[in-house]
Amino acid sequence: MRDMEKLVYNTGNGETELFIGKSWYEIGDHIIKSNTIIITDSNIHSIYGDKFPSCPVIIIDPGEQTKSITTVESIVEQLLDKGCDRTSFLLGIGGGVICDITGFVASVYMRGVKFGFISTTLLSQVDASTGGKNGVNVGVNKNIIGCISQPSFVICDPEMLKSLPEEEYISGLGELVKHAFIRDAGLLGFIEENIELVLKRELNLLTTLISASVKIKIDIVTSDEKERGIRRLLNFGHTIGHAIEIELGIKHGFAVSYGMLLAAQISVESGMLDENDLGRIETVLGKLRLLTDMPQELPDVTEIILKDKKVEKNKIFFVLLEGIGKGVIKDMEIDDLVRIIKNIR
């Protein structure tokens, strides 16, 4: 029998129910078909479309390049053509891109309609579908236009992860292990003990890990929905990781893993983290196959970092470690950060 856990969180702007381990086929329990519109991509539709509930479907191209205002305009035009009003409900079925776009469109269409997700990738199940961040890219600037608006529900069905390409699944492990690095040493130990089963995508183990990871994110988000303080911890590895992702075009989880490794090295250089903990971080990332795309030389990412949303008056809130499970937020000068990165590389 499959494990299932229901989590509920409330940021003050509405309640969100998360169903981890629940079959996505039970989506009928959560929507009214007559006022629901599905947003998905062509890949997901080709795999699961014949099992979708009988609702109108808007299909977009897969990939990060689709996260644009042009796509938003296209979806809005289709919603108008379908006669959607303020009582309509948008259901995003897909990974992080679909979650971002669906949440953003729902938040701005007619000043806001309700929405929910069926999360189909590990990356979105442990990260993108929870927390309320929705946005689109402008050029190489990731999520530079966006809002924070919480979904009504999220269904995370680990069974759907079986259809993921290996690289996509491994990429998702980067965000999962990130939560352990910043907040839960015990979770990291559990991951280390079960590396083989993690890589084999054992369903009940995945339900346990996704639930543990999401609980960490919920705890942080409910304390700081608008990212004015502790929510910045969730950016561990992302300042450098996003820049690498943009510059080299590698998948998010691999780029963030390299960013986390560099942030851990900076933590050691700053006298905050023990060398043994750095070794442990590098070992677990390696065993999870997250360092296979690691570049031999780090490209110059200064210009990209300067455009990061976390930059304020030439300073950036950068996440370091004082130990496994002990993330801390440091206010750093951009010039100092760039100098340290260049010295390490």
pLDDT at 241 over 90: no
> Which whole number is the average pLDDT over 129-153?
92
For the stretch 244-276, pLDDT in tens is 888 888 899 999 999 999 999 999 999 999 999
Identify the three-state secondary structure at position 261.
helix
Other C-beta atoms closer than 10 Å to the C-beta of 178 total 29
Burial class of residue 248, CB neighbours in 10 A (0-12, 13-18, 19+): middle
Q: Which one-letter amino acid corresponds to residue 150?
A: Q
Residues 61 and 40: beta-carbon distance below 8 Å: no
Adjacent-strand bridge partners of 317: 331
Evaluate whether 95 touches 120 at the Cβ level (below 8 Å): yes
Is residue 310 pLDDT above 70, yes or no? no
Provide mean pLDDT across the span 115-121.
98
Task: Flag whether pLDDT at 236 surpasses 90.
Answer: yes
Digit-coded pLDDT (tens) for 78-114: 999 999 999 999 999 999 999 999 999 999 999 999 9
* C-beta atoms surrounding 268 within 10 Å: 17
How confident is residue 157, by pLDDT bands cut at 50, 70 and 90?
A: very high
Query: Would you state the pLDDT for residue 248?
Result: 81
Q: Which helix (H) or strand (E) holds 186?
A: helix 185-193
Q: What pTM does this model have?
A: 0.92
Nearest to 155 by CA among 52, 44, 45, 16: 16
The reported pLDDT for the residue numbered 322 is: 98
Q: Annotated active-site positions, please?
A: 111, 133, 175, 217, 227, 231, 235, 238, 242, 252
**pLDDT above 70: percentage of residues in the chain:** 94
